[in-house]
Structure 1
Amino acid sequence: MLRIHFTGEDLARLRLAARPDALWETVLSFHRLRDRRGGRVYGQWRKEARTRFGGGARDARRTLASIVPERGYFPDFLTPAEGAQGWDEGLAAVRATPEGRQYGEMALMRGELAQVPPMGVLADALRDYHRAAVAPYWPHLQARVEADRAARGRALLDGGADALLASLPPVLRWRAPVLEADYPVAREVHLKGRGLRLQPSFFCQGAPVVLYDPQLPPVLVYPVAHTPPPALAAVGSPHLGRLVGQTRSVVLRAIEHGCTTSELARLAGVSLASASQHACVLREAGLVVTLRHGSAVLHSLTPLGAALLRGGAAPAPLG
């Protein structure tokens, strides 16, 4: 069991990451690359990433495997706080890891005689793997994390930090003033007024992840939802199809947890052009909001759209 203890000051300093953390995604994806779980979500990516990161990358794979086990603890210095600022800043922090910290954290994983690859070699291996297995999929990762941020943001606006913590995925349970999760080992994390950074992650699967060193800035990495519920046609109101059309009601359901236009097309079983057109009509009706991040386009429901989908009362108009 993981138990994270909050004070009033911690709740006031709770924050949600603004974007995916490139180093967390890189390290956690290396876990996903070597296991067989999550085939529905990661299967195609795994096949492509193994091809991209094959052949001449053998030395880089060996270097990463020596420091990132298939499961369990990996050194905290692989995911520095600077990673929240961007890939370049995070990788520079990895390269600058003091030697004493390198050996201390590797000893936790391999024992006192653990060998540490030179930081330059390790950083180059991380860079090569990131370019092959993570960077090509970055717009998709951004879209999934932004969809999660939208859901958490609505909870925060509706009910503050308490509602935000209660809205986290089912693997996390908010029992004020403690946030709990099933965990491979027993961990008690006392924030002591430092607050907590919530970091949604595409490649985190199952249990959330926290840093081992209690002195480091607290961060909780948790898995995002990857797809809406499978029964897309089972809309909240039996009359919704009559109101907006059967296809558009399916499109509205597909957008419930946030999705890109290409994901919308796949989930609703329509062409890309049709998905874009339906999303445009729903956006003009005030049911959907669209956000752009570079080449990625993310659709999510407005409060009115969510109320219509549930078949409940619409929010009262302002004024």
Structure 2
Amino acid sequence: MHFGAEDLLDVRFAAEPLPLVELCLALAAWQRTDRPGVFARWRRQVARELPSDARPLLHLLRPDGDNPAFVEPPVPDLDAALDAVREGGRQLPYEDLVRAASRTRGGADPGGWLRGLWEQDREAWALLDRSLRSAHAALIAPRWREIRQSFRADVAWRARMLAGHGIKAALAGTHPGARWSGTTLAVPGPPDFETRLGGRGLTLMPSAFWTGRPLLAPRPDGSHLLVYPALTPLPLVAPAGADGSLDALLGRTRAAVLQLLTDRRTTSEVARDLGISLPSVSEHTRTLRAAGLITTERDGKAVLHAATGLGMDLLRSGG
């Protein structure tokens, strides 16, 4: 992403999560296989909960998050977002549906549903509306409190990083591999593309479900939306709320890991002291390290972790 001076002056956070964007990312995350230590149990739960009338969406929504833009409008109200889907469908590019159909199993278009959308078939659009409503009721509505908690915690943490370290650090923190070269932010991984933001603004939106590299999407006003994984993914958000501000930000177990690492400890010591598994410790330390809150180094066969200055500041501010 190529930033001009106007772009760097016009970076803001979304006011709240976007229901259909989160729904599409949830269904994409369900089809992914990364981060099994965090999402495996949630994926099994979704397999049981997802209604049959929501499954046509899987022909549109893919694990890499490269979804047709019309089905995930950046609108904060669900009913208004569903209206926006239908309105966007009136100018639906045929290429979007060709791409979606070509990426289904065997390149099939089950029942001609995707073609029916392009041809403005009433029944095809009614099926899409039912599928979106059903999937939202099953996956998003029951978890909305936790989704908002994850969203707000990430925004609060990243705003603090912005205040203390600047906009470049806040943006680079959206992905462990993100690197700045002048005013260009590069993130590794396919597909390769370049975007010049053109001074029209960039809105940041952390997602409680997304696990891949940041996704960039144009908005109707010409600006862009950057969706990235929230610091605390949905499965690690305390369902009933957390007792302290740091627990609310990081999740109770991850906050406890950071607290332990005010003194250097090995992975095995953290697992022993908290009574959790080694893979769980590795998952938590990987996320804390990507956020710049801890460092990790190898000493012979041991792997040692310790809180950074930023991590210590966060512990002090969080009580």
TM-score bracket for this pair, using the shorter chain length:
0.5 to 0.7
In 2 relative to 1, CA 205–171 (structure 1 residues): closer, same or farther, beyond 3 Å?
farther
Q: Secondary structure at the match of 2:33?
A: coil
Q: 1:76 aligns with which of 59, 63, 69?
A: 69
Q: Quick one: which amino acid aligns to residue 141 of structure 1?
A: I
Pairing 1:264–2:252 present: yes
Alignment of 1:211-226 (within 5 A): 211=217, 217-226=223-232
In 2 relative to 1, CA 120–129 (structure 1 residues): closer, same or farther, beyond 3 Å?
same
Pairing 1:21–2:45 present: no
In 2 relative to 1, CA 120–96 (structure 1 residues): closer, same or farther, beyond 3 Å?
farther
Distance 2:256 2:165 in 1: 32
Distance 2:214 2:173 in 1: 15
Residue 177 of structure 1 is matched in structure 2 by: 183
Residue 10 of structure 1 is matched in structure 2 by: 7
Is this contact kept in 2: 1:12–1:161, CA < 8 A? no
Alignment of 1:1-319 (within 5 A): 4-53=1-50, 57-61=51-55, 63-71=56-64, 73-81=66-74, 83=75, 85-110=76-101, 115-117=115-117, 118-211=124-217, 217-226=223-232, 255=246, 258-259=249-250, 263-264=251-252, 268=256, 310=312
Distance 1:49 1:163 in 2: 35
Q: Quick one: which amino acid aligns to residue 87 of structure 1?
A: L
Count of residues paired in the alignment: 243
**Alignment gaps of 5+ in structure 2:** 118-123, 234-242, 258-307
Is this contact kept in 1: 2:175–2:213, CA < 8 A? no
Q: Percent identity, aligned pairs only?
A: 30
Distance 1:266 1:208 in 2: 22
In 2 relative to 1, CA 159–194 (structure 1 residues): closer, same or farther, beyond 3 Å?
same
Distance 2:169 2:182 in 1: 11
Deviation of residue 257 (structure 1)?
A: 8.2
Distance 2:313 2:59 in 1: 53
CA-to-aligned-CA distance 1:245-301 (integer Å, 9 cap, x gap): xxxxxx98x927814xxx4279649xxxxxxxxxxxxxxxxxxxxxxxxxxxxxxxx
Q: Quick one: which amino acid aligns to residue 67 of structure 1?
A: L
Deviation of residue 224 (structure 1)?
A: 1.4
Is this contact kept in 2: 1:23–1:87, CA < 8 A? yes
In 2 relative to 1, CA 265–309 (structure 1 residues): closer, same or farther, beyond 3 Å?
closer
CA-to-aligned-CA distance 1:60-86 (integer Å, 9 cap, x gap): 30x2122113445320111223x2x23
Distance 2:187 2:255 in 1: 30
Is this contact kept in 2: 1:195–1:218, CA < 8 A? yes
Q: Secondary structure at the match of 1:15?
A: strand
In 2 relative to 1, CA 124–174 (structure 1 residues): closer, same or farther, beyond 3 Å?
farther
Q: Quick one: which amino acid aligns to residue 204 of structure 2?
A: L
In 2 relative to 1, CA 183–89 (structure 1 residues): closer, same or farther, beyond 3 Å?
farther
Superposed CA RMSD: 3.5
Q: Quick one: which amino acid aligns to residue 96 of structure 2?
A: E
Deviation of residue 149 (structure 1)?
A: 0.4
Distance 2:95 2:88 in 1: 11
Q: Quick one: which amino acid aligns to residue 59 of structure 1?
A: D
Q: Secondary structure at the match of 1:219?
A: strand
Is this contact kept in 1: 2:200–2:222, CA < 8 A? no
Return 218-227 or 24-33, whichever deviates more. Answer: 218-227
Is this contact kept in 1: 2:247–2:255, CA < 8 A? no
Distance 2:22 2:174 in 1: 19
Distance 2:79 2:92 in 1: 21
Distance 1:166 1:38 in 2: 20
